[in-house]
Structure 1
Amino acid sequence: VVDGAKDRLATVPAGKASSALDGWACIALVVVTPLLFVRGTFTVFTIPKATFVVLVAAVLVTAEMATMVAWGVHRRSDRRVEVLSGLLAVAVVVATMTSAVPAVAFTGVGVRYSGAVTYLAYAVILRASARGLSGSLARHLMPAFGGTSLVVVGYALVQAAGHDPLSWATSLS
């Protein structure tokens, strides 16, 4: 260890030392994760994409638990983010339970595998990302997530009314 480096590292609080890295990692997760599910990227390699999202969510939950156990550090995200991610999780669970085929709604259709498990992983990633970001950056996450959610809900309502403007492939395999 370089002279004094060990002492300098010992004086940096655990929460402060990782906050910059947490911020960049959270921004990367928020940007990269949805890009994995762009319509044009649905190929035979979709299972690894869904696996990636679930794995990222599991790593984030494990990291949060390890931080709480090892250092006693627990950072709460903005309450609005927790409510929003909780509402997303509740909506996904209700939609899955009321589906005509709950097993398919849980895992997703054959090739895509973007069912309830994937969307619950998104809720975990949203919550963990908001907790890892600083207050000013976390405030920008809410309008971004809320705005994109409104677009998705609006498009779902258009589809439910039978007026889908896009032609979708009948099979992706």
Structure 2
Amino acid sequence: MTQERTGVATVKGNPLTLIGPELKVGDKAPDFKVNKDLFTEVSLSDFAGKVKLISVVPSLDTGVCDAQTRRFNEEAANLGENVAILTISADLPMAQARWCGAAGVDKVDTLSDYKTNSFGQAFGVLIKEIRLDMRSIFVVDENDTIQYVEYLKEMTDHPDYETAIEAVKKLV
């Protein structure tokens, strides 16, 4: 049976139900399958040996998600080659590509959870009511152990960018 968590997230104060487990620092990052484009799937193992900053956004076409993705794209240059920055949303891959082109975002891998919601369920961020992924940040080390987690309580809030970046810097 799929785990459902209530009372842990809201959008503009309205309660949401998250599907999947609440992951914690020290947990092994669960595997997932997301789409790079309509036909190409990638999983956690495609980033093996790298530190992964996983930035989860509901949709790139909203203000906070836009700002979050741009911020991590800017930070990418300072983090080195051993860091993969993944932005995961339930947007269609074509919409992600269009948004990245328009925004000039080129250092972040945008990946789509639209097809199976595999990432959302594995990381406990799939919003039952609207089938989008809840804003969150995960930093996963080169051995796929979670070293930092931020599940945002309110969807419209910004994550703690500085603390997430510091968590990555400690690993490289």
Give TM-score scaled by structure 1 length. Answer: 0.26
Point out the structure with the larger strand share.
Answer: 2
Structure with bigger helix share is 1
Tell me which structure has the larger Cα radius of gyration. 1
